[in-house]
């Protein structure tokens, strides 16, 4: 069998699982699928997928099983009865969960003689199959390398390390970054929208600004690692003064200020902890020790 077209099983055919199976089919992988509701497999079967009657049959069909179900409780309820088929095979778990759940899952998989990778999908279903989209994996490097060509069918596979909880941890951290960024954009959009500027007019400028923000992150990362925050670009005290302008402008236009007020409170905690003349990166000290910062 061509290494680029190895058989794969996909367990779970929600929106994401169906997208995973479709991407594998598009790249020529013999694909077996299973879902509690077989009707969800109809379009995939029409495209050439093989529908398994049971999870045991599905796992037995391929050296690699990719699971993408609702949660870990569902994962075990589906796979426990079929665990005997996992010996000598690999389970890649793309079910969302916590790092702690990933650690339990790798123990469970190893107890049944299976290789295991935990993963996180950093896109929505329409992005599956796009090589620009990140798929995060953690666990055995040997298992990852063995199946990398297949995993690359889904998106750009990034191995984060051998700790199986890393993919889930990165997933949570990156989603936090996404929500914070999108909410900041929406707040800014509401602010300029109060003066009849459209979101489509504001957004290209906002995206260009995010390029500069990415540069700030690159500058601040080594400061965070070193625990030293030279305030030679803009100090926390300067940022506190600047965010007041945002708060006042938003208040004058009736825009909700919960987000900037929250950010200002974090800045003020950092300043009170002695970081007023340090860079914005020094807020990490407040975020790492919130109880201490309030003491």
CATH number of the domain that 83 lies in? 3.40.50.720
Structural domain includes residue 293: no
51 forms beta bridges with: 33
pLDDT in tens, 195-227: 999 999 999 999 999 999 999 999 999 999 999
Assess whether 162 and 248 both reside in one domain.
no
Per-residue model confidence (pLDDT) at position 138: 98
Confidence of residue 56 (pLDDT cuts 50, 70, 90): very high
Q: Are strands 31-34 and 115-122 parallel, antiparallel or unpaired?
A: unpaired
Domain count, the chain: 2
Same domain, 68 and 128: yes
- 160 and 59 inside one domain: yes
Residues contacting residue 146 through CB under 8 Å, at least 6 positions apart = 90, 115
pLDDT at position 64 over 80: yes
For the chain, the average pLDDT equals 96
- The answer to the question of residue 252 being in a domain is yes
Give domain status of residue 209, yes or no.
yes
Q: Identify whether residues 24 and 157 lie together within a single domain.
A: yes
* pLDDT for position 290: 74
Domain-embedded: residue 292: no
The confidence score (pLDDT) of residue 295 equals 43
**pLDDT at position 140 over 70:** yes
Asked if residue 70 and residue 135 are part of one domain, the reply reads yes
37 and 133 assigned to the same domain = yes
pLDDT, residue 291, reads 60
Q: Is 135 in the same domain as 246?
A: no
Same domain, 259 and 161: no
270: pLDDT strictly greater than 50: yes
Residue 236 inside a domain? The answer is yes
Domain at 211, CATH number: 1.10.1040.10
Give pLDDT, residue 293. Answer: 45
Do 211 and 255 have their domain in common?
Answer: yes
Domain-located, residue 179: no
Give the pLDDT band (50/70/90) at residue 19.
very high
Residue 232 pLDDT level (bands cut at 50, 70, 90): very high
Q: What is the pLDDT of residues 83-118, one digit of tens each?
A: 999 999 999 999 999 999 999 999 999 999 999 999
Mean pLDDT of 6-28: 98
Q: What is the pLDDT of residue 67?
A: 98
d(CA 83, CA 278): 54
Report pLDDT for 4.
73
Shared domain check, 164 and 50: yes
Q: Are residue 21 and residue 144 in the same domain, yes or no? A: yes
Q: Do 21 and 140 fall into the same domain?
A: yes
The two three-digit tokens of residue 237, written as one number: 């005290």
- The domain boundary, picked from 168, 185, 216, lies at 168
Q: Region 165-180: what's the mean pLDDT?
A: 98
Q: How confident is the model at residue 3, as a pLDDT?
A: 52
Print the domain residue range for 62: 8-168
- Does the residue 245 lie in any domain? yes
**Is 127 domain-assigned?**
yes
């Amino acid at each position: 069998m061509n290494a680029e077209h190895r058989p794969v099983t996909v367990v779970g055919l929600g929106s994401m699982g169906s997208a995973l199976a479709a991407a594998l089919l598009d790249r020529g992988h013999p694909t077996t699928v299973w879902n509690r509701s077989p009707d969800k497999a109809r379009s995939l079967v029409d495209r050439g997928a093989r529908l398994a009657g049971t999870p045991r049959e599905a796992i037995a069909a391929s050296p690699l099983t990719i699971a993408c179900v609702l949660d870990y409780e569902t994962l075990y309820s589906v796979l426990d009865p079929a665990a005997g088929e996992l010996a000598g095979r690999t389970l890649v778990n793309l079910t969302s969960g916590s790092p702690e759940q990933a650690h339990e899952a790798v123990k469970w998989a190893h107890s049944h003689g299976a290789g295991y990778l935990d993963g996180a999908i950093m896109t929505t279903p329409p992005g599956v199959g796009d090589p620009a989209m990140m798929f995060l994996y953690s666990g055995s490097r040997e298992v990852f390398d063995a199946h990398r060509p297949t995993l690359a069918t889904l998106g750009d596979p990034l191995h984060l390390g051998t700790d199986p909880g890393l993919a889930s941890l990165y997933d949570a951290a990156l989603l936090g970054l996404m929500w914070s960024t999108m909410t900041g954009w929406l707040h800014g959009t509401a602010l300029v929208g109060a003066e009849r500027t459209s979101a489509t007019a504001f957004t290209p400028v906002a995206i260009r600004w995010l390029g500069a923000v990415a540069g700030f992150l690159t500058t601040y990362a080594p400061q965070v690692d070193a625990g030293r925050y030279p305030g030679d670009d803009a100090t926390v005290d300067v940022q506190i003064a600047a965010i007041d302008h945002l708060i006042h402008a938003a208040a004058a236009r009736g825009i909700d200020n919960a987000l900037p007020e929250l950010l200002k409170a974090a800045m003020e905690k950092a300043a009170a902890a002695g970081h007023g003349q340090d860079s914005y990166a020094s807020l990490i000290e407040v975020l790492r020790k919130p109880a201490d910062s309030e003491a």
